Amino acid sequence: MKIDFVVTWVDGSDPKWLQSKNEYLPTDEIMNTDIRYRDYGTFKYWFRAIEKNAPWVNKVYLVTEGHLPEWINKDAEKLVIVKHADYIEKKYLPTFNSNVIELNLHKISDLEEHFVLFNDDVFILNKTEKKDFFDKGLPKEYGVYSPVVPYREFSSIEFNDVKIINKYFNKRSDFKKNFFKIINAKYGINNLRTLMTLMWPNVLGYWNPHITAPFLKETFYDVWKKEKKLMEETSSHKFRTTDDINQWLMRYFQIEEGKFIPQKAKFGKKVTLNEFSDIEKIFKSKAIKVACINDDFDVKDYDSKMERLINLFEKRYPEKSSFEI
C-alpha cells in the first residue's frame, strides 16, 4: 500500500499574493485575520522531520497558490508541487479559503487512494510506520463523539458538517455496528466524551484532535456526489465564512461508516505557542509522534517564542533534507 502526504502552505508575505488577497478581502477579520496566513519560518523542519521519521512515504504533495519557499528543492525525488490552478476549477480562483483548498484535494492528479493531510504547523516528531496512519487499508482515527461547543465563528463550520452527518446517518445504529471502534481503550479518558452524548439520538459532534488526518480518496468522491451543491457553494467562497463546510466532514463520514481503525490517544497532541512549556515536553516525549504547534490568537512575546521554537527544531533536525537546495 502506497501512502502520500499532502501539505498546504502559503507565503503570507508574498507581495503579489497580498495584492490579490486585498482585492477580495471580506469584512470578517476574525476568520480571515493575518495570522491565518503567517509563515512560521519552520517549514523546512517539517520536511526534515518527514525524511527522518517517515522515510516510507510515497510522495509529498506541496499544495500552494504558486509561490514556493526559496530553499525548496523542486527536483527532490519524492516532492510533487501542486498549484491551486492544477486541481481547483478556474471559476473558484484565486482562493484564500483553506476549506476550498482541502475539499478539492481528491482532484489532484496521481494522488494515491490513501493519503494523509497535514497543515504546515503539524510535525512528525518521532519515528513512524505506515500502520501509524493506515491499518488493514483503513485510516487510523479517533471515533470519539463530543458536543460541538460554540466558540467564535469557527464552530459554525463544525455545526454545518454535523448537520450533514445527521442527514445521512443514524447514530444509534452506527454506534451498535461500530461499538468497539467508538468505545475503545486506545482513546483513554476521551471515551467519557462519547458516553456523555449517548442519551441524545443524534450526533452532537466529534472530537477533533487537530493533528494529521488520514483519508481515503473515495470518501471525497462519495461526499462530493452526495452534497455537490454545498461543496460547490463553499468552493465559491474566496475566504472562510460561517456557511462553509470543511474537510472534517470527510473524517465524520469515515467514522460513521466504520471505515477506520482506532488510534491511540497519545499518538498526537495540539499545543499553542502560548503553551511553550508543553511544547518543550513534547519535544522530549517518545510517545507523541505527531504535534500541532499552533500560532493561535494573541500570542505573547511571539518573536522570542518563535526563536525558541526554531532552536528546538534546529537541535532536533540540524541537517538539510533532500527537499532543500
Q: What is the predicted pLDDT for the residue at 322?
A: 98
- In the CATH hierarchy, which fold is given to the domain comprising 3-316? Spore Coat Polysaccharide Biosynthesis Protein SpsA; Chain A (3.90.550)
pLDDT digits (tens, 9 = 90+) for 242-258: 999 999 999 999 999 99
pLDDT digits (tens, 9 = 90+) for 170-195: 999 999 999 999 999 999 999 999 99
pLDDT digits (tens, 9 = 90+) for 74-125: 999 999 999 999 999 999 999 999 999 999 999 999 999 999 999 999 999 9
Q: What is the predicted pLDDT for the residue at 294?
A: 87
CB < 8 Å & 24+ apart, contacts of 67-74: 67/10, 67/11, 67/14, 67/16, 67/17, 69/9, 69/11, 69/43, 69/44, 71/44, 71/324, 71/325, 72/323, 72/324, 72/325, 73/322, 73/323, 73/324, 73/325
Domain boundaries, the chain: 3-316
Q: What is the predicted pLDDT for the residue at 207?
A: 96
Residue from 279, 266, 267 nearest 316 by CA: 279
Q: What is the predicted pLDDT for the residue at 303?
A: 86
Q: What is the predicted pLDDT for the residue at 191?
A: 98
Per-chain mean pLDDT for the chain: 93
In this prediction, residue 149 has a pLDDT band, given cuts at 50, 70 and 90, of confident
pLDDT digits (tens, 9 = 90+) for 153-167: 678 999 999 999 999
